[in-house]
């Protein structure tokens, strides 16, 4: 009986894990590209290897516009024609416009930048630090309005930063 329960639990865990991977693959394969302006902060971690830590420009926009902050919630963002998103309002459960997206935030009055959007770092292959120092945008893929993944970094021209000579142009309006 114990082996049967163990087998059933293993199968359930396997199914849940594979479904989570499937959802992430769907976001990567057919998600909308949204860019968020960033300010790089730290390009290295001894424990994690090379990475870039950053703050989002919309965190500062929220700081300037939100009067009664909640400890955590969702911010409504809207990408412009260049796919760069800006803060619109705090999400209160209302219906979103077709071009609006939401992103999760936390508020901490004790931090110098009180709004924090995660993820706020991007890990890359060791030795590529100089390549990522010119990052000015975080690249997200959105599926719908609320399922998103951070997938890369882009330079000031909105060109994805990659290790090889192939660069993806993200500034086009082509679908």
- What's the pLDDT tens digit per position in 119-166? 888 888 777 778 888 889 999 999 888 889 999 999 999 999 887 644
pLDDT of residue 15: 93
Q: What is the pLDDT of residues 26-58, one digit of tens each?
A: 777 787 889 999 986 655 555 556 788 888 999
Q: Is 23 a residue whose pLDDT tops 90?
A: no
Is the preceding peptide bond at 14 cis, omega within 30 degrees of 0? no
Domain ranges of the chain: 1-30, 32-154
Q: How many residues does the chain have?
A: 175
Task: Enter the tokens of residue 21.
Answer: 């991977």
C-beta pairs of 134-139 under 8 Å, 24+ apart in sequence: 134/161, 135/38, 135/40, 135/52, 135/54, 135/161, 136/37, 136/38, 137/35, 137/36, 137/37, 137/38, 137/84, 138/35, 138/36, 138/38, 138/54, 138/56, 139/33, 139/34, 139/35, 139/170
d(CA 98, CA 96): 6
* Other residues' Cβ atoms within 10 Å of the Cβ of residue 24: 15
In this predicted structure, the answer to whether residue 71 has a pLDDT above a threshold of 60 is yes
Q: How confident is the model at residue 175 (pLDDT cuts 50, 70, 90)?
A: very low
Confidence of residue 21 (pLDDT cuts 50, 70, 90): confident
Residue pair 136/155 in contact (Cβ under 8 Å)? The answer is: yes
Q: Above 70 in pLDDT, residue 168?
A: no
């Amino acid at each position: 009986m114990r082996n049967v329960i163990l087998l059933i639990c293993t199968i359930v865990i396997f199914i849940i894990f594979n479904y989570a991977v499937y959802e992430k693959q769907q976001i990567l394969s057919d998600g909308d590209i949204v860019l968020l302006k960033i300010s790089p902060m730290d390009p290295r971690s001894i424990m994690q290897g090379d990475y870039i830590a950053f703050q989002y420009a919309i965190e500062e926009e929220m700081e300037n516009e939100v009067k009664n902050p909640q400890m955590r919630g969702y911010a409504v963002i809207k990408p412009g024609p260049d796919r760069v998103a800006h803060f619109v309002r705090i999400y209160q459960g209302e219906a979103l416009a077709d071009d609006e997206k939401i992103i999760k935030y936390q508020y901490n009055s004790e931090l110098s930048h009180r709004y924090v959007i995660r993820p706020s770092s991007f890990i890359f292959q060791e030795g590529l630090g100089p390549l990522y120092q010119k990052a000015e945008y975080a690249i997200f893929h959105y599926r719908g309005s609320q399922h998103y993944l951070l997938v890369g970094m882009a330079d000031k021209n909105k060109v994805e930063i990659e290790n090889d000579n192939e660069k993806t142009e993200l500034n086009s309006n082509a679908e």
